[in-house]
Amino acid sequence: MKYRPEFPQRFQSFAEGRGFCDDFFTWYNDHQHHGGLAMLTPTIVHHGRAPAVLNQRQLVLDVAFKRHPERFVLQHPRPLQLQPAAYINPPEYDSLIS
């Protein structure tokens, strides 16, 4: 796995795999912020909390801009925006319109 090089190639037993994956998927869903999800966790997005988190980020950026506008030379800072969909393997375009 990209961010967890300790993810084994194989497990010695089902119990070992289950134990490892329980911890791994908790980390992946609840703690790993994903670039394709506007640096949110899957849990935040799944439970509909993304708008509130992104609004809070904007408030923090507004304060930072007021305190130090010289750090933001090009424009007023904005948080990343959540895209309408995120894919590991995007479907073919034709299947999206049918």
Using one digit for the tens of pLDDT, what is the confidence trace for 13-49? 999 999 999 999 999 999 999 988 999 999 999 999 9
The structural domains of the chain, with segments of one domain joined by +, span 33-83
Average pLDDT rounded to a whole number, residues 49-58: 97
Q: Percent of the chain at pLDDT above 90?
A: 67
Average pLDDT rounded to a whole number, residues 92-96: 65
pLDDT at 97 over 80: no
- pLDDT score for 96: 57
Interacting residues of 86 by C-beta distance below 8 A, sequence separation 6+: 34, 36, 37
Interacting residues of 50 by C-beta distance below 8 A, sequence separation 6+: 37, 38, 40, 44, 82
Beta bridge partners of 34: 40
- pLDDT score for 89: 82
Single pTM value for the model: 0.76
In angstroms, rounded to a whole number, what is the distance separating the alpha carbons of residues 42 and 49?
10
pLDDT at 83 over 60: yes
List the one residue out of 35, 33, 52 whose CA is nearest residue 43.
33
